[in-house]
Each structure stands twice: as structure tokens, then as C-alpha cells.
Amino acid sequence: MSFINYSSREINCKLVYYGPGLCGKTTNLQYIYSKTKADAKGKMISLATETERTLFFDFLPLSLGDIRGFRTRFHLYTVPGQVFYDASRKLILKGVDGVCFVADSQMERMEANIESLENLRDNLTEQGYELDKLPYVIQYNKRDLPSAVPIEELSEMLNTTRVPEFEAVATTGIGVFDTLKALAKQVLTELRKGS
């Protein structure tokens, strides 16, 4: 749910990075944080366990600039990927404006990808959304790993609705901003339609 504040002339949108455990959602945000100018970002918050696994969410506020006199701000969130944190994932999807599904390209994580994508659809439905009606992109992360599944196969398995898809290596930043831009554009385009 985008928030338009006519008083401060700001548009605020919420983007959520979803995906199986250890697929690189937090790494995406960390890279974006590290490469964004200080005046365009807020503090990055990670609610993580002692072993650096996301416990509740990561949060990164970004300010992109003005559009028609309104400052556009994106609030980036990740969900905890581990299966048993499902209750937390549902909470974070509340008020979402756009979703990026981060898939782990490794062969051994295919089942986890599919399970997580189904979980995303189910959790959105529970909140009254439909994934196919939301701004939505897919990122195939960890393209540099030897066991990475060919992109065509991944696409066939995970991108059945043919949404924009990107190859990425989040640790080095490849594809990270392309993914974010594509999603942000979809969300802003959605704003044209109004509520």
C-alpha cells in the first residue's frame, strides 16, 4: 500500500525481497546499501540471529529523487527465509507494493525455491493480494556457482507468468540494481492507475 503524503510531498512504497533461506535477500540489501550515496539512504536495520540469519526482517529506506514534485521513497524489506519463520513472513507482506522473488540458482536448492514461491503465493492470498496482480520481478541469484542450473530451466520452473527476470551475483552486485530498478518502475507505473 503506497502512502502519499501531500503535506510533506512524499510517496512511500514498500518493496519486499522474498525467497528461500540463504538465497541472498539480505545480501541484495547490503549491496544496495553499500553502493547508495549517503544522502539517498537511511540506516539499514537487520533483525538477525547471532549467526547472522534473518530473524524478523532487514529494512533499508531509500530516497530516489523527485517525480512531479513528490519525493519518492522506497522501503526495502527482506523476510526471514527459513521455513519455520512463516508467521513473520506473513506480517512483513502486509502493505506490500512490490515483490522481488530471489531464487537460489543452485541445483540442490530447486525444491526450496519452488516451496518458497508457493509459500509466497499462499501468504499473499491470505493477506488479500494476488501475486499476479502485484508489481513482481524474479532474480536468479548465485549465477557464479558451479552447480547453477541453466537459466532457461530456472525460468521455466519459476517464472511461469513471464515477469521480468534477472541474473545476479548479489555478493559482487551483478544484477542487483537492475532488479531493484525494474521493480521500482513497476510500482511507480502502478501509481498512475491510482487506488
Partner 1 sequence: MLTPQLVMYEDEVRQMQAVADRLQHDSRSQAVLVVDKNGQLIAASGSAHELDTTSLSSLVAGNVAATGGIAKLIEEEEFTGQFHEGKGISVHMSIVGRKMILVVLFDKNTTHGLVRLRVKKASTELETILDEVAKKAQHPQVNVFAEITDADIDNLFND
- Identity of the residue, 93 or 138, whose beta carbon is nearer to partner 1 in the bound complex: 93
Collect all residues with Cβ–Cβ distance below 8 Å to 37 and sequence separation of at least 6.
none
- Identity of the residue, 53 or 75, whose beta carbon is nearer to partner 1 in the bound complex: 75
How far is Cα 165 from Cα 103, in angstroms, rounded to an integer? 10
Instruction: Name the residue among 21, 23, 16, 2 with its Cα closest to residue 100.
Output: 16
Q: Binding residues for partner 1, per CB under 8 A? A: 1-8, 11-12, 14, 42-43, 45, 47, 56-57, 59, 61, 64-65, 67-68, 70, 72, 75, 87-88, 90-92, 94-95, 127-129, 133, 181, 184-185, 188-189, 191-195
Instruction: Name the residue among 191, 130, 140, 133 with its Cα closest to residue 168.
Output: 140
In the complex, minimum distance from the CB of residue 146 to partner 1, in angstroms, rounded to a whole number: 33
- Identity of the residue, 12 or 139, whose beta carbon is nearer to partner 1 in the bound complex: 12
Task: Give the H/E segment covering residue 13.
Answer: strand 10-18
- Identity of the residue, 67 or 83, whose beta carbon is nearer to partner 1 in the bound complex: 67
